[in-house]
Structure 1
Amino acid sequence: MQLNPYLFFNGNCQEAFEFYEQCLGGKIAMKFLNENAPPEGQMTEMPGEKIMHIRLEVGDWVLMGGDCPPQMFEESKGFRVNLAIDDPAESERIFHLLAENGTVQMPIQQTFWAFRFGMVTDRFGTPWMVNCEKES
């Protein structure tokens, strides 16, 4: 079994995933536009150039998402995507990229359990935790 976060966007999924690809060092492995689905599979309330499904692979980790029809979109609440990073410098780099034009809830810093830990909501509305844990 594999658990993968699936993120919904209000029309800016393409921009978000291109940013995540660059920021996290991954590769967009799959992308379906609404207009490329067969007519019976298209979401008629969503423009054709919007993302129906996208898959980003970062090592063994997978992040998926898509654009949501405007009347169905809700802001993300009650969760965060956790990034477990081994290198403190890399955790700092990624945190600061995610924080650009976003909202920092907890600045990245040393804690009793981590060399670096911080919480941020990026400019696309995705809430993240960046965690570089100490060995227990």
Structure 2
Amino acid sequence: MPILNTYLNFPGTTEEAFNFYKSVFGGEFSFIQRFKDTPEGADMPEAEKEKIMHVGLPIGNGGSLMATDVVPSQGFSLTPGNNYNLCISAESEEEAEKLFNGLSAGGTIAVPLAKASWGSYFGMFNDKFGISWMINYDY
């Protein structure tokens, strides 16, 4: 059974927001990575390198609140309505493909499902109803 998580986009304030959420929900970050620590980080402007590429905060029974900073060099601009994604954590590569292909039918694929630099099988799209989705399988 896949796990559904919420993935938020922030305009450079992810670290501040997630320290706040951690103070409310408790617990520890399950993962935190800055853009400087990614393969793409070497080519980014200095002002963006310390921004958050990915952070996860476990909440409840198996779910997570996750986020990233939207940085201009990545070609994505933040507007109301694109500041969230529903993220499904699949249990297998096959399940990820089934969910990605099914939910993206008639929609617009932003990132094709493929092995990502952080070691997951990952893809993003907007479904035919305009909802933003991420499908992720951790190897």
TM-score (norm. length: structure 2): 0.48
Q: Which has the higher contact order (CA 8 A, sep 6+)?
A: 2
